[in-house]
Amino acid sequence: MHRRLLLIALLCGATPLAAQAVIDPGMTRALVVARLGKPALERTAGDATYLFYANGCLRTCGMNDVVVLDKGVVVDAVFRSTKRHYSGTSSSPRSIPAAEARRGKPTKTAGAPGGDGLVTFSVTGKKTKPPTADQPDRKPPA
């Protein structure tokens, strides 16, 4: 029975959690490197360290995977690779499909009280900017 489920998961393209590299909040840099390997790039600013990992989707998802450490321990991670998973709450914005990005219309996302969410903008031939702190009532072009 278990072999059938595993075979079905593999045929459907699912990556079992056991096959994923799981990063947990509070892990040390050494544990992260033991699970993910040497980072492609590492940057430090004050107490923060950023470990960047190639994910194979840089052109389509627009970013490498990143693990954020504060004073040597994991506080955040943003993964686009299906081979990696962060067990904590990531600060990552939701990933949107390419078709939605091509439409170029503002998209509300859930999260804020009262049903108001964050609004993201994409550019389609003309520049658009979200409202700024000094112009909170300005509406973006339709």
In CATH, 19-86 is 2.40.110.10: no
Which DSSP state fits 47?
T
Reply yes or no on whether the pLDDT at 130 is more than 80: no
Rounded Cα gap, residues 50 and 44, in angstroms: 6
Q: How far apart are CA 9 and CA 119, in angstroms?
A: 35
Q: What is the pLDDT of residues 2-58, one digit of tens each?
A: 455 444 444 444 444 456 799 999 999 999 999 999 999 999 999 999 999 999 888
Cβ-based neighbour number of residue 65 at 10 Å: 26
In the chain, what are the domain boundaries? 19-86, 93-126
Q: Work out the pLDDT band at 134, boundaries 50, 70, 90.
A: low
CB of 138 within 8 A of CB of 131?
yes
How many other CB atoms sit within 10 Å of the CB of residue 26?
A: 9
Closest CA to 32 of 19, 55, 49, 16: 49
pTM, full prediction: 0.57
| 98 against 131, higher pLDDT | 98
Tens of pLDDT along 75-85? 999 998 889 99
pLDDT at res. 67: 97
Once rounded to an integer, what is the mean pLDDT over residues 104-118?
47
